[in-house]
Structure 1
Amino acid sequence: MSSSSTTTDTLTEPCPGVHRCSAKKCDCCDHMLTNISEFRATRTSKSYSINQDLSCTTSKVIYIIQCKVCSMQYVGKTVSALKTRFSSHKSSISKEQHRPLANHFNSNGHRLEDLLIFPIEQVCDRDSLKEREAYWVEELQTLDYGINLVPNESGAPKRRNEEECGPRPPKKARKKNRVPVFSSETEGLLTVCEDATEEARKIISQVHQKLKKTSCSRAESSEFLQDLKKKISDLKEQKLNEKIYIGLLGRTGAGKSSLINAIVDESQILPSGRLHACTSVLVYVQANAELDKDYRADIEFISKEDWEAELRFLVEILSNEQGERPNADSEGDKEMQKMAEEKIRAIYGEEGLRKSYDELVGNRQFPQIPENCRRTFTFHTAAELSQNIGCYIRSDKKMNQQYWPLVKCVTISLPRSPALLDRIVLVDLPGAGDANKQRDEMWKECLSRCASIWIVNDINRALSDKEAHKIFQESLRSIAGGGECHNITFICTKTDLVNVEEIRSEVSNQDLDLTEPEDSPDYERKEKQACILYQNTEAKCEIEKSHKAKVQKLLFGEGDEEISDSFFHVFTVSSSEYKKIKQGKSSVLDCNETELPLLIEHIKKLYVSHSEKEVKDYVSDISGLVSYLHLAKNPCNDKIKSFNDSEFDRLKKDLFKTCQTLEKFLSEVHSDLKENLESGAKAAEKESWDNAKAKVIDPTKRDFRGYHKTLKALCKNNGFFRSRNGDIIDLNYTLSESMYRQMNKTNLFLKTFSSRGRKSINGNFESFQVNFISSDQLKKYRMEQEKYLRLVYIKIKQRKLLRHLEKETLHRKKCIYNSLSDSVRETMQPTYSKCAGTMRYTVTQIQNELNDKISSSKNTMFQEAMNEMLRQFDDLKNWILRELEADMLIAMKLALTQIPDDFVDLPDVDEELEILKTHCESLDLKLFV
């Protein structure tokens, strides 16, 4: 009996090494080296023992990924179960994302099936995990000969023990081409976010399942329980799908479409390189989140009524006051006439140019607009999509039937795009304007939602102050005060079109770093390559020197010393060279020198910076509910009741004190804003007509034959018009410009709504978050779980509320900023409608009408605009204070009052809570500390 017992105990003891998990089918185990107790460094051939019992379910591990084809190794760490991290790696490889492991296992001769993974060491805490990862990276030499990235300073590998491992190999023998395309820090954050999201989803699903058994006896408790179950169910179904928009601005021919094609690795998704073709509508390009294998295009049309109203105006543009076709001989007239001709020709053909409005409206060949104004197409290949949707997005004289004049926007969804991580949306903002009010409004709204703006121009025009000045003055002002953008990127395109002779006449071989002998057969290519790189470096320096300070002032105002360089970037790209490399053709530049990989990594960094916030919010919400369930298990004794009462009184006093501080801050901002606006309103009364006349109403001071149509279009679009060449004419902003200038003079508005800084709304929120329940207070009750978790729950609810207030404040900020020009537009609206009506007005008559309206309204118009902005700011102040006080009191009462005591079978969530604590720590989410 004793012998049998000893045998059984021996069999059940953990055996050091890597073993399969108990699941019948495990994807991770199918890729894992199992039943091993040692492993080998493929570079040094040195063997190492595995001294713990490890499997795919083990968490807090160091692991190795090894390639079956080339034997290269990668060292990684994860606080999650290894199978969770493997799932993220597998997804990245399957989607062919622009990431180190995905790039390796999608390179020539490699595939997912060539990946082997195995854990080598379990480590107890986060800091030790980092240290051991750094140790194994250095020990196995996976930086120089493997797939690991060069880490930042905080994650630098430990120095090798040369006595143990031998001397380090010479540099010339190491892996070449270590251009820092990928960022170790970004990749690390991305994997942390992926693991935390996956684990949080798993936990909330487990809790949801466990809570199904819970019941209660009293009616009031039943209502409470159902509400709790609904919150958990909502979190279980919640998708992290907030879009991250990147808007591309640039004149026609700047290379925006070619750039997008190169980024998404498709040759002709968007039209480019054609003499007469240009993108004419708003185009969104994103990864297809629903269909794995199909390309999809969602077309949104304007309504039939909107088209008929626009058509009437287009016909009017093509007719003079006597109803005859004019011989346009001025630039403005030519541009407007071209726009009208293109649209009518696109829909009705050449004969449409000779027909009246009534004849065109009754045309049976008119393409029917769907009743819901939407149409969706799916295709198996990119070529099919491009061939079939060109007529909806581009103006091309060689095409027959076209529909782009009827389209508001097109959303293209791609099944495979390494650069476009989930939720990234590239937006091709058409440079040319038109006479459609709805499209212009959509253009402005899209611009305000962009997290990043790319200013795209070919490198020969990129340094033109005139071009950059136009974009700053016309487009970027609306994303500063009235938008979400915190990053502006200059992209110089067509860098391969370099004038070698011109550069060689100015610089020497030494300046070019050109060492190739002149008699070398490769000399001409090397010379051109050196000239391109020299030109790119010079362009970056000049653009940064000319525009970085402007961008900082535009986005954040002056005098902010704490701003990092993340708000401004410059890239010099060659889409054509990148395309050649992808097609295996001879090229002048290597892949990294085209800077497309760097630009794609830039997108990933933007994605990580935004998604990290969303992941933190999600993990925080789940942590709050799990913390509360942990509390609900334990009865509330007299000692806890006494603590709850005293803590509620203390926090209530602190809350009211916080509200008073915030009210004082917002009232001071309101007072300063009012002072600035009063000065601005007085200036606007004096300057408005002169500004309007010089910039909009009478800018030419000469022959008006070409300006009549522009003024008409301006009135039709309620004072805003984007011309064919992309110039923006905004009479409403021009009239209120003195008020904006005075408001921005002290950076008051930008600083108040800044994402950082003590003298901002968010700065006050952050101070409240840190001080209301401080780390010291949590540490005080760390060993008393009942008290500790109640405070944690309040802290989590506080964080959720503040995030909600931040998002709503950002939305209201846009409305407040735009309220000045919007109010002016409302005042001018009757005159705009009158001048845009069916009655024929000469250019002088339109000017007189606008002049009369401005003159008669200026004494009240700007006062009304000021009052509207102040009213909206006051509404924001009252809303913040009301929400802050009410919601925090509810959270405090919920955490610090008796939890219903008639719950039956409340789930045990100890394990889930500990896992969440680990992920909060990895996300630097200070909820439990």
Structure 2
Amino acid sequence: MKAAETCVTQVLEKLKTLPKKEFIDYLKGKMTKLRTGVKNKVLVGVFGKTGAGKSSLINAILGEPNCLPNGANISACTSVMIQVEANMTNYSYEAEIEFISKKASELSGKIACYTRSDNKMEVKHYWPLVKCVTIKVPNTKELLEHIVLLDLPGTGDCNKTRDNMWKSHLSQCSSVWIVNDIQRAASEREPWMILESSFSYLIQGGECENITFICTKTDDINPKNYLGSPVLKNTELHLDLEKKGAAERKRGCIQHRNEQAKIMLGERFNDEVVKKKPFIQMEKIFQVFTVSAEEFQNDENPILEQEQTEIPQLKQVLEDMNERHSKTAVKDYISGVYGILSLIKAANSNDSTMVEMKSNMYQLLKDSLEEQLSTITSLMTKHYNDLKKLLSEGVANSKKSCLQIAKEKVITPEARKDGRGYHRTLSSLCRNKGFCRSTNGDITDLNKTLAESMYAAINEKFAVIFPNAGTTGESIYKKICNFSIISDNMAKEWENTPMSLYLMFLTTEENFLKDKLKRDVLLRKKVIYESLTDEVQIIMCPCYEEASKISGKGTLKKTQELLVKHIDSSKNPMFDNAQKKMLEGFENLREYIEQTLRTELLESLKRSLKTPNSLSLPGK
């Protein structure tokens, strides 16, 4: 990479000495833009309620016991998003604090609502004003150069700005870690509720490719009690462990419980996710780690060996992920440099016989471009028609059942029939335009609930068009990967001729463009998927605003009645508009892909094959 960067610097310096010409400026532009091809960092979202051991886990992975505050040294829970990444500029520990703007937080006249006092610590906390904290850790290049660990708090604080940011970051997570105490990992419902309620933001409306369940505090075990538990009592292992010393007995109990936890969590994931959402291929990318940050950092008489704490294995997962993206970035950059140098070498040729060959190649590739674009049009038109049919079915179902679903799940849920405390949830939901996160991280989203039947109609097809992992089937991603205006026969025909230099340049241009399009498709996929919810929210917003102003006696009942009335009177335009918006988004995506490929590649063809030779460009 350093050698390639040095080469680019040297070529740019030589190009600066040449008279200004359109082609020279084009080359300069290509060289300076090479770095933009390096992919963005990968986000790893870390879930877990207060006390689950998230901070201790991250500290152990980083080898920094006090990097993130944890329950051992503070009494308040994490209330904002914390990003942890490598400091690639110096050897200092740095933190960047991003605050909510004055207009978002509505400080004027309300400052008292945005500070709080902790009686134990006697200090003021300004967390409601903070969007995100980014911690940059030195000497972590191999671990975090291309990775960002995102500590996602579950606590909701009725702040629209932070909740919107939380949803946005959630949709950007390529990997998700769910952290929970091993004693409650398999039985506790809360982590699974968080996963289930966040699923659409992570998978269909996001880019999550794998889910990792991390059981913490594996060293926290009472061997006597565990040996007497039904799972071990009267077994051969029980008898074997009884004969060993205290340390070996405890280690044996820890390892047995770890194995059992992995089995039970695998079975539960299959029941909670795979069976409920068969259209999403997640069963092959779920893994479980059983870790002990305490034992990993224990230098005095540890019960577990380093490998048995599974912190090294978890670090290896990050290192492998980081290395894959590092190699990709280097490969793309060097390929780009090689392509541009090939063009410079070809354009510097004095061979007059190439003029006709360049003209022929230009026409062949131009025709091939239109042929390839037609295959993209054909595939996306098919997907569009299929989506339209499914959405129409979803609209009809939504109009029939939306009111009943909204009542049962959000407005008047059976579990909250007496209304105790539920008015706070409903009030928060109305203030936040239909979205609310509870203190345990559970999500209530009336907009998404109203669009539930529409999502049910399209989810399977959407997973075919935009798979969360891989390029199987008739996905747009696969179509872009296979796109090329240079056929195998054409490449073979021009092999070992000066014209191959032009093909080399055009190949790198294609690859660069396809990588850009794949990233853009991923971003637009999220917008398209969420468009159903967004359109529902637009129709519901006047109702939310009116409901948020209700106060006094009977607030809950009045709010519920207002929501029911508005949904019933607005359901027809609500779902018709949602269908229209999603189809428009998909059609716009097709047009964007076609226009980008046509415009960019025609420009590359023109610059390479329509440029005169013998430009007296710099040599070696």
TM-score, L = length of structure 2: 0.92
User: Which residue is equivalent to 1:579?
Assistant: 297
Of the candidates 495, 499, 508, which is equivalent to residue 787 of structure 1? 499
Contact 1:736 1:821 in 2 (8 A): yes
Is residue 283 of structure 1 aligned with residue 5 of structure 2?
Answer: no
Is residue 245 of structure 1 aligned with residue 43 of structure 2?
Answer: yes
Sequence identity percentage: 38
Deviation of 1:774 (Å): 3.8
> Which amino acid is 1:557 matched to?
F
> Which amino acid is 1:228 matched to?
L
Deviation of 1:417 (Å): 3.6
Contact 1:463 1:543 in 2 (8 A): yes
User: Which residue is equivalent to 2:287?
Assistant: 569
Is residue 876 of structure 1 aligned with residue 598 of structure 2?
Answer: no
Gaps of 5+ in 1: 1-196, 316-342, 351-396, 910-929
Contact 1:551 1:568 in 2 (8 A): no
User: Which residue is equivalent to 2:535?
Assistant: 823
1:705–1:508 Cα change, 3 Å: closer
Contact 1:509 1:515 in 2 (8 A): no
User: Which residue is equivalent to 1:223?
Assistant: 22
> Which amino acid is 1:793 matched to?
F
What is the distance in 2 between the residues matched to 1:657 and 1:697? 53
User: Which residue is equivalent to 1:631?
Assistant: 346
1:429-508 superposed matches below 5 A: 429-464=152-187, 466-505=189-228, 506-507=231-232
Q: Secondary structure at the match of 2:398?
A: helix
Q: Secondary structure at the match of 1:461?
A: coil
User: Which residue is equivalent to 2:436?
Assistant: 721
> Which amino acid is 1:485 matched to?
C
1:437–1:658 Cα change, 3 Å: same
Is residue 867 of structure 1 aligned with residue 580 of structure 2?
Answer: yes
Contact 1:480 1:555 in 2 (8 A): no
1:604–1:549 Cα change, 3 Å: farther
1:675-754 superposed matches below 5 A: 675-699=389-413, 700-744=415-459, 747-754=460-467
User: Which residue is equivalent to 1:368?
Assistant: none
Q: Secondary structure at the match of 1:413?
A: strand
Q: Secondary structure at the match of 1:401?
A: strand
> Which amino acid is 1:422 matched to?
E
What is the distance in 2 between the residues matched to 1:897 and 1:657? 21
1:856–1:454 Cα change, 3 Å: same
1:663–1:552 Cα change, 3 Å: farther
Is residue 345 of structure 1 aligned with residue 116 of structure 2?
Answer: yes
> Which amino acid is 1:805 matched to?
L
User: Which residue is equivalent to 1:615?
Assistant: 330
Contact 1:271 1:278 in 2 (8 A): no
What is the distance in 2 between the residues matched to 1:553 and 1:657? 41
Deviation of 1:898 (Å): 3.6
1:56-75 superposed matches below 5 A: none
Is residue 204 of structure 1 aligned with residue 8 of structure 2?
Answer: yes
Q: Deviations over 1:559-590 (max 9, x none)?
A: x6xx994x22211101111121xxx2221111
What is the distance in 2 between the residues matched to 1:830 and 1:628? 58
Is residue 269 of structure 1 aligned with residue 269 of structure 2?
Answer: no
Q: Secondary structure at the match of 2:143?
A: coil
Contact 1:298 1:412 in 2 (8 A): yes
Of the candidates 350, 362, 375, which is equivalent to residue 648 of structure 1? 362
User: Which residue is equivalent to 2:526?
Assistant: 814
Q: Secondary structure at the match of 1:279?
A: coil
Is residue 527 of structure 1 aligned with residue 217 of structure 2?
Answer: no
Q: Secondary structure at the match of 1:276?
A: coil
Deviation of 1:879 (Å): 1.1
1:406–1:766 Cα change, 3 Å: closer
Deviation of 1:611 (Å): 3.1
1:368-379 superposed matches below 5 A: none
What is the distance in 1 between the residues matched to 2:157 and 2:8? 50
Contact 2:142 2:323 in 1 (8 A): no
Contact 1:636 1:898 in 2 (8 A): no
Is residue 420 of structure 1 aligned with residue 112 of structure 2?
Answer: no
1:550–1:838 Cα change, 3 Å: closer
What is the distance in 2 between the residues matched to 1:619 and 1:555? 41
What is the distance in 2 between the residues matched to 1:443 and 1:279? 14
Deviation of 1:721 (Å): 0.6
Deviation of 1:839 (Å): 5.8
> Which amino acid is 2:612 matched to?
I
What is the distance in 2 between the residues matched to 1:478 and 1:227? 40
Q: Deviations over 1:176-197 (max 9, x none)?
A: xxxxxxxxxxxxxxxxxxxxx2
> Which amino acid is 1:887 matched to?
E
Q: Secondary structure at the match of 2:189?
A: helix
What is the distance in 2 between the residues matched to 1:834 and 1:579? 55
> Which amino acid is 2:116 matched to?
R
User: Which residue is equivalent to 1:920?
Assistant: none
Q: Deviations over 1:79-135 (max 9, x none)?
A: xxxxxxxxxxxxxxxxxxxxxxxxxxxxxxxxxxxxxxxxxxxxxxxxxxxxxxxxx
Q: Deviations over 1:847-902 (max 9, x none)?
A: 1111111010011101111110001111111111111122222222222224354x
Deviation of 1:502 (Å): 4.5
What is the distance in 1 between the residues matched to 2:577 and 2:60? 49
Contact 1:555 1:750 in 2 (8 A): no
Question: Alpha carbon RMSD of aligned pairs, Å?
Answer: 2.7
Deviation of 1:304 (Å): 3.4
Gaps of 5+ in 2: none
1:452–1:203 Cα change, 3 Å: same
What is the distance in 2 between the residues matched to 1:548 and 1:199? 48
Deviation of 1:473 (Å): 1.9
Q: Deviations over 1:163-207 (max 9, x none)?
A: xxxxxxxxxxxxxxxxxxxxxxxxxxxxxxxxxx23321322232
1:362-373 superposed matches below 5 A: none
Of the candidates 482, 500, 506, which is equivalent to residue 767 of structure 1? 482
Contact 2:115 2:124 in 1 (8 A): no
Contact 1:628 1:790 in 2 (8 A): yes
Q: Deviations over 1:441-466 (max 9, x none)?
A: 11111111111111111112211363
Contact 1:514 1:530 in 2 (8 A): no
1:509-528 superposed matches below 5 A: 512=237, 518=243, 523-528=245-250
Q: Secondary structure at the match of 2:213?
A: strand
1:96-135 superposed matches below 5 A: none
Deviation of 1:698 (Å): 1.1
Is residue 299 of structure 1 aligned with residue 97 of structure 2?
Answer: yes
User: Which residue is equivalent to 1:907?
Assistant: 618
Contact 1:556 1:751 in 2 (8 A): no
User: Which residue is equivalent to 1:805?
Assistant: 517
What is the distance in 2 between the residues matched to 1:511 and 1:596? 29
> Which amino acid is 1:650 matched to?
L
1:312–1:844 Cα change, 3 Å: farther
1:517–1:468 Cα change, 3 Å: closer
Q: Deviations over 1:127-154 (max 9, x none)?
A: xxxxxxxxxxxxxxxxxxxxxxxxxxxx
> Which amino acid is 1:740 matched to?
Y
Deviation of 1:438 (Å): 0.4
> Which amino acid is 1:547 matched to?
F
Deviation of 1:808 (Å): 0.9
Q: Deviations over 1:217-240 (max 9, x none)?
A: xxxx723213322432444x7695
> Which structure carries more relative contact order (alpha carbon 8 Å, separation 6+)?
2
What is the distance in 2 between the residues matched to 1:843 and 1:529? 54
1:330-341 superposed matches below 5 A: none
Is residue 667 of structure 1 aligned with residue 381 of structure 2?
Answer: yes
What is the distance in 1 between the residues matched to 2:466 and 2:457? 17
